[in-house]
Homo-oligomer: A and B are copies of this chain.
Amino acid sequence: MEIDLKYLEEVFHKHNLKITPQRIAIYKELVNSKEHPSAMIIYERIKKIYPNVSLDTVNRTLLTFSEIGLVRIVEGRGDPKRFDPNLRQHHHFRCIKCGEIYDFYSEEYDSLDIPSELKKKFIITSKRVNLEGICDRCRAKRG
């Protein structure tokens, strides 16, 4: 998929980030993946185009992106962080066998009210439903 470079450069400008080939490549790679990849996965792929990009740059860049809200770090149970370029409000199902993370959309979930005692006390910036279980593929493999 072609990304909107103009828009991306605007975002970088807005946050006073310089436009570097590494940043663009990392963003492209993440946007074109559907599997909520880890930094290492992105790094392996980027290396084919920029053989001496460093893993630190990939990590640093993904973290920067998440700070400016361009990508998200997916909620998980530790282990390698996994990233999500999909900014549409959506929710996740995570398979506890294979670790795959599936997006899903739900108006019902999106429109959930925040309990009023929380709304009074805290500033809420994100609301997501996390489902867990066993995916169809893993169910087919085992029992």
A residues adjacent to B (C-beta < 8 A)? 73, 75-81, 93, 95-96, 102, 104, 106, 108-109, 112-115, 117-118, 121-136, 139
| Interface contact B115-A112, CB-CB below 8 Å | no
CA–CA, A125 and B96, complex, Å: 9
Copy total for this chain = 2
Write the chain B residue with the least CB distance to A125: B133
Write the chain B residue with the least CB distance to A127: B131
| Interface contact B124-A133, CB-CB below 8 Å | yes
- Which of A76, A77, A128 has the most C-beta atoms of chain B within 10 angstroms of its own C-beta? A77
Write the chain B residue with the least CB distance to A74: B77
Residues of B within 8 A of A106 (CB): 115
| Interface contact B130-A124, CB-CB below 8 Å | no
Residues of B within 8 A of A113 (CB): 108
CA–CA, A134 and B122, complex, Å: 6
| Interface contact B131-A130, CB-CB below 8 Å | no
Instruction: Give chain B nearest CB distance to A108 CB in angstroms.
Output: 7
